[in-house]
C-alpha cells in the first residue's frame, strides 16, 4: 500500500525537505543567463506538520500549503527522505506545481 498521508510518513520515520529554487533573467548577461533569485532548502519538522495539518493530511497537498520565508514564492519542491533508502531514491512530491506547469504548457498531440 502506498503512503498517502502525513501521519503515515511520520510513523515510518520519513524526513521531509522543501526547496525553493528559481531564477530570473540576468539584465547584465549578454547570453541571457539566469540570475538565481532564491536557492533555499529547509528540513521540515514532521511532528509539527502532523500537529498543524493533521494525521490524515494528503501528501500531495503539502507542497501547495508551503511558502518560502525568504522570497514568498509558493513554487516549492517537496522531497521525502525514506530511512534506509539511498539519496538517489528520495521520493519527490507528486504535487509539485513547477512540474505540473511544465506538463500543462506542453502542446498536446
Ligand atoms: Zn525562495
The predicted-structure confidence for 50-61, as pLDDT tens digits, reads as follows 999 999 999 999
Question: Which cell goes with 21?
Answer: 529554487
Q: Domain range spanning residue 40?
A: 6-105
Is 24 within a domain?
yes
Query: What is the whole-number distance in angstroms between the Cα of residue 107 and the centre of ligand 1?
Result: 29
Please give the tally of structural domains in the chain. 1
Predicted confidence band at 88 (pLDDT cuts at 50, 70, 90)?
Answer: low
Rounded to two decimals, the pTM is 0.70
Rounded to a whole number of angstroms, the distance between the first and last alpha carbons of the chain is 34
Tell me the C-alpha distance between 58 and 33, whole Å: 37
Is 1 within a domain?
no
Contact between residue 61 and residue 5 where contact means Cβ atoms under 8 Å apart = no
Query: Which is it for the CA torsion 60, 66, 70, 75, positive or negative?
Result: positive
By C-alpha distance, which of 16, 5, 20 is closest to 83? 16
Query: What is the whole-number distance in angstroms between the Cα of residue 109 and the centre of ligand 1?
Result: 34
Amino acid at each position: 500500500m502506498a503512503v498517502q498521508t502525513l501521519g503515515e510518513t511520520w510513523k515510518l520515520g520519513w524526513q521531509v525537505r522543501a526547496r525553493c529554487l528559481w531564477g530570473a533573467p540576468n539584465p547584465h548577461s549578454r547570453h541571457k543567463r539566469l540570475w538565481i533569485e532564491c536557492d533555499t532548502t529547509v528540513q521540515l519538522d514532521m511532528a509539527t506538520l502532523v500537529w498543524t495539518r493533521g494525521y490524515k493530511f494528503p501528501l500531495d497537498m503539502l507542497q501547495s500549503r508551503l511558502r518560502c520565508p525568504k522570497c514568498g514564492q509558493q513554487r516549492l519542491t517537496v522531497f521525502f527522505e525514506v530511512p534506509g533508502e539511498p539519496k538517489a531514491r528520495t521520493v519527490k512530491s507528486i504535487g509539485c506545481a513547477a512540474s505540473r506547469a511544465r506538463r500543462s504548457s506542453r502542446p498536446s498531440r
